[in-house]
Structure 1
Amino acid sequence: MDIVQKIREAGIVGAGGAGFPTHIKFSVDKVDYLLVNGAECEPLLQIDKYLMREKSSEIIKVLEQLGDRIQAKEIHIALKGKYKSEIIELEKAIKDLNSRVKIFKMGTYYPAGDEQQIVFEVTGRTVPEAGIPLDVGVIVTNVGTLVNIYEAVTDSKPVVDKCLSIHGEVKNPLILKSPIGMTLAKCIEAAGGTTIDKYKIIVGGPMMGRIIDKESLEKEVVTKTTGALIVVPEDHYMVHRNGKSVKHIINEAKSSCIQCRMCTDLCPRYLIGQKLRPHRIMRSVSMLENNSEILKEALLCCECGICELFACPMQISPRMVNVYLKGVFRENGVRFEKSTRKLTAESMREYRKVPTNRLISRIGMSKYTDFSETKAVILESNEVSIPLKQHIGAPAKPLVGVGDHVEYGQLIGEVKEGLGASVHASIAGVVVEVGNSVVIKK
């Protein structure tokens, strides 16, 4: 069976992003570069490093297979140069397997793990505005995705579990290997519980993750894209920044934006040559200019948060304005037309990269950087609630009903056509509920 078909049948999606179905990404005939994102974009996160240490041989083996399938001229693993242990393990695997895979060492800056930054760093090519890496002959995949592909190819194993790290105000910060559909409450319990009573949880990284209340822990579950849980006090700076209403944010822009253009000068997408100028967007919004061509630049925003959490001296929120505008444009079917012009990176780019340590300090996360756990704790469950939509595209259609007995790894939801990915049972048991999720009990 073709490797792409195995990827499809295993329900593999991007493990480190929004969950783009992986079989579609690799359904191409030929590329110049196959790049692996091992740079762990967000501060604090640990899973890419863990997998590169523990699964180095598996990663290199499956990269060779994928590289042959898409006729990649070059294969690179891009990771931060400070990842010494991970580099040692990968280089050993490359030597042992006589592989053509190369290691590309990046600086310690944010957002080094943004796929368009990786494309530029390794190849010198800028992805066109509203484009994808394939437009410049590149495919980028994540470390976790590669491990899932290896398991699908070698053992016919579908995606039924996920590695994630637990940080912040917990008694024992750790790495978990959890069944898909496990409640986040169980994950926090596995870390010894919280050290404080009044807290909120960041699901994902501190810069781009979403914030939930502790009351949501019993409802929310681990999915194919869950990468981390960070417990923070309910009055933490990041909670406050993300709790503002759109109306309040726009009023702040009207009263406080000084048009210093720091948000633009430090914007990673602007620095690689794309026409994204947050200061112009803020001017249009605050001055009620409503220049649609400038406002549409918001569609290029990767939502990294540098503009509002590091660059802006007035502590206003260009990112949140962009998020709001993107929602409005998408509701109205407005898209940014893919650029055909030649893009050139800003000459000052190298001097405007945001140091990760300074960023961590700025957002009040320095307290949580001490993470010594190197092995994963395997979590088991007697009940899971597996969402039928864990990915970009249409939700999977359930293939089981209440009362059905399912086996571990059994296909329980499928997307036969279009954009989407199948889902599988992460435990053996009886189906007790089918709705937006399939609930299984042992």
Structure 2
Amino acid sequence: MDLLEKIFDAGIVGAGGAGFPTHIKLNCSVEYLIVNGAECEPLLETDKYLMRTEGHKIIKAMEEVAKKIQAKKLIIGLKAKYKEEIKALKRTIEELNSKVELFLLDNFYPAGDEQILVYEITKRSIPPSGIPLDVGVVVSNVGTLVNIYEAINEKPVIDKYVTVIGEIKKPCILKVPIGTSVDQCIKAVGDTLIDDYAVILGGPMMGNIIYKEETQKEFITKTIGALIIIPREHYIVERKELPIKHIINRAKTSCIQCSMCTDMCPRNLIGHKLRPHRIMRSIGMSEGNENILMEALICCECGVCELYACPMGLSPRRMNIYLKDELRKKGVRYKKEQGITSAKEIREYRKIPVNRLISRLGLSKYKGISIDGPFEVKSHRVHIPLKQCIGKPSNPVVSVGDMVSRGQIIGKVHRGQIGANVHSSIDGKVCEVSDYVVIQSDDNEVIS
């Protein structure tokens, strides 16, 4: 069976970002295959664990993918401070006599953003609204490569490694069946140190936030790689709770047009015409300049503008997200610019040190804590979303009352669609089919 068919059958999507279907991404020919091991968000440990322990799978999968996409250069990008991971990967590269190379990055944010990573390695700037393919590159996360290796051996994506840190008794990495509730994950690590809390799904800069009472109704997907438990009154949570009307009013009354949001914007620094301060001015002054407002469409939502750069504590990122939604409702799309995009010379001096960023976020107490694991969680009940990636949801192929086995396909998409197949992560009986397939087993949840 062709590699892309195996990837499609296994339901693989990007493990480290928005979840673009991998069988579509790899249907191309390029010069570079870049594997992202930079763990873009602060505090996360999952990719580091995979590079330490699954290097053989990562590198073997890279070689197979490179054959398929005809890539001549195979590079893993990771941070120079990852000493153990570098040592483990170098050892594996030597053992396999592989042509995979390592590219060592400084410890800055957002080093793991794929467009920033491409520039660091190739010195090619992806054009605004473009993708790595535009400059002859494919980028995949290390977790995606592990899943590709498993797919080659006929194993679908049914488990997820998740970093669990913050206000908990036992910070660790869990290996959990997809569809496990966030509440189960928290209980599996010894519960929380505080009574009232919020949970960041993903990283502190770009992750979504849920509250304690929502943890039983939120479930691990193919793209959630971390749970960060923080006090409910934390600064990050309070910012999320600001209504958009309040954000707009603050832009009108408090934006001093210092342009720090633009000066520090990672996409602006690689040459994109994205100017958050101009957007804030257009909103604040009720100018309604659509040419300016359209720049919001190329924002990557990294959060630098509002969580690091703005001296007034304003929210350009939230404003951009709001504008994106409004413009897309009107059918407005950003027209990809032609010609070569060039990074700014000042960029090298405006990289954001991760340690300083963590301090600004008020998360220093969680930095450098020993992370145990992985511990395997066996769940007796899972809610598996039929949509876990960009594109169409899969169509259920099971009914209430059906008995299913771990790894059995329960949701399908057609090969030509943007979407991904979904598989059962446990043995059990189908209890519900809606936007989720709910499966119940007779076993009790255990952690080992």
Does the pair score TM above 0.5? yes
Aligned to 1:27: 27
Q: Indicate conservation of the 8 Å contact 2:12/2:144, yes or no.
A: yes
* Letter aligned with residue 158 of structure 1: P
For the residue of structure 2 that corresponds to 1:141, the secondary structure is: strand
Q: Distance in 2 between matches of 1:7 and 1:329?
A: 34
Q: Say whether residues 1:4 and 2:4 are aligned partners.
A: yes
Q: Distance in 2 between matches of 1:293 and 1:352?
A: 27
Q: Distance in 1 between matches of 2:320 and 2:38?
A: 25
State the percentage of identical aligned residues: 59
Aligned to 2:150: 151
Aligned to 1:196: 194
User: How do 1:282-321 and structure 2 match up within 5 A?
Assistant: 282-321=280-319
* Letter aligned with residue 380 of structure 1: K
Residues 215-272 of structure 1 deviation map (CA, whole Å, 9 limit, x = unaligned):
1111111110011111111110101111111010011111111111110010000000
Q: Say whether residues 1:106 and 2:111 are aligned partners.
A: no
Aligned to 1:262: 260
Aligned to 2:81: 82
How far 1:137 moved relative to its partner? 0.5
Q: Distance in 2 between matches of 1:221 and 1:374?
A: 22
For the residue of structure 2 that corresponds to 1:61, the secondary structure is: helix
User: How do 1:226-375 and structure 2 match up within 5 A?
Assistant: 226-375=224-373
Match of 1:176 among 171, 174, 177: 174
Q: Distance in 1 between matches of 2:197 and 2:300?
A: 28
Q: Indicate conservation of the 8 Å contact 1:50/1:375, yes or no.
A: no
How far 1:441 moved relative to its partner? 1.0
Q: Indicate conservation of the 8 Å contact 1:37/1:113, yes or no.
A: yes
Q: Distance in 1 between matches of 2:83 and 2:329?
A: 45
Q: Distance in 1 between matches of 2:369 and 2:324?
A: 36
How far 1:341 moved relative to its partner? 2.9
For the residue of structure 2 that corresponds to 1:217, the secondary structure is: helix
* Letter aligned with residue 371 of structure 1: I
Q: Distance in 2 between matches of 1:218 and 1:358?
A: 34
Q: Distance in 1 between matches of 2:380 and 2:237?
A: 33
Q: CA RMSD in A?
A: 0.7
For the residue of structure 2 that corresponds to 1:358, the secondary structure is: helix
* Letter aligned with residue 114 of structure 1: D
Residues 268-312 of structure 1 deviation map (CA, whole Å, 9 limit, x = unaligned):
000000110111111111111111011000011010111011111
Q: Distance in 1 between matches of 2:105 and 2:354?
A: 12
Match of 1:165 among 151, 163, 166: 163
Q: Distance in 1 between matches of 2:355 and 2:321?
A: 26
Q: Distance in 1 between matches of 2:43 and 2:369?
A: 8
Q: Distance in 1 between matches of 2:190 and 2:307?
A: 31
For the residue of structure 1 that corresponds to 2:342, the secondary structure is: coil
Q: Distance in 2 between matches of 1:2 and 1:365?
A: 45
Flag structure 2 segments of 5+ consecutive residues without an equivalent: 442-448
Q: Indicate conservation of the 8 Å contact 2:171/2:372, yes or no.
A: no
How far 1:374 moved relative to its partner? 4.6
Q: Distance in 1 between matches of 2:314 and 2:379?
A: 43
Q: Distance in 2 between matches of 1:43 and 1:426?
A: 29
Q: Distance in 1 between matches of 2:65 and 2:388?
A: 24
Q: Indicate conservation of the 8 Å contact 2:305/2:315, yes or no.
A: yes
Q: Distance in 1 between matches of 2:432 and 2:318?
A: 37
* Letter aligned with residue 12 of structure 2: I
Residues 359-397 of structure 1 deviation map (CA, whole Å, 9 limit, x = unaligned):
000010101113312530000011111110011111000
TM-score normalized with structure 2 length: 0.97
Residues 417-440 of structure 1 deviation map (CA, whole Å, 9 limit, x = unaligned):
411000000011111111110111
Flag structure 1 segments of 5+ consecutive residues without an equivalent: none
Residues 25-67 of structure 1 deviation map (CA, whole Å, 9 limit, x = unaligned):
0011x20100011000000001100000010111111101111
TM-score normalized with structure 1 length: 0.99
For the residue of structure 2 that corresponds to 1:403, the secondary structure is: coil
* Letter aligned with residue 181 of structure 1: G
Aligned to 2:18: 18
Q: Distance in 2 between matches of 1:103 and 1:206?
A: 27
Q: Indicate conservation of the 8 Å contact 1:50/1:374, yes or no.
A: no
Q: Distance in 2 between matches of 1:387 and 1:189?
A: 22
For the residue of structure 2 that corresponds to 1:206, the secondary structure is: coil
Residues 135-182 of structure 1 deviation map (CA, whole Å, 9 limit, x = unaligned):
11000000100000001102x000000000101000001100000011
**Number of positions where the alignment pairs a residue of Structure 1 with one of Structure 2:** 440
Q: Indicate conservation of the 8 Å contact 1:201/1:230, yes or no.
A: yes
Match of 2:219 among 205, 213, 221: 221
Q: Indicate conservation of the 8 Å contact 1:60/1:94, yes or no.
A: yes
* Letter aligned with residue 15 of structure 1: A
Q: Distance in 2 between matches of 1:362 and 1:60?
A: 36
Q: Give the 4+ runs in structure 1 shifted more than 4 A.
A: none
Residues 105-142 of structure 1 deviation map (CA, whole Å, 9 limit, x = unaligned):
00000000000000000000011111110011000000
Q: Indicate conservation of the 8 Å contact 2:168/2:229, yes or no.
A: yes
Q: Say whether residues 1:68 and 2:67 are aligned partners.
A: yes
* Letter aligned with residue 187 of structure 2: E
* Letter aligned with residue 98 of structure 2: S
* Letter aligned with residue 396 of structure 1: S
Q: Distance in 2 between matches of 1:342 and 1:291?
A: 26
* Letter aligned with residue 438 of structure 2: V
* Letter aligned with residue 63 of structure 2: E
Q: Indicate conservation of the 8 Å contact 2:115/2:126, yes or no.
A: yes
* Letter aligned with residue 364 of structure 1: G
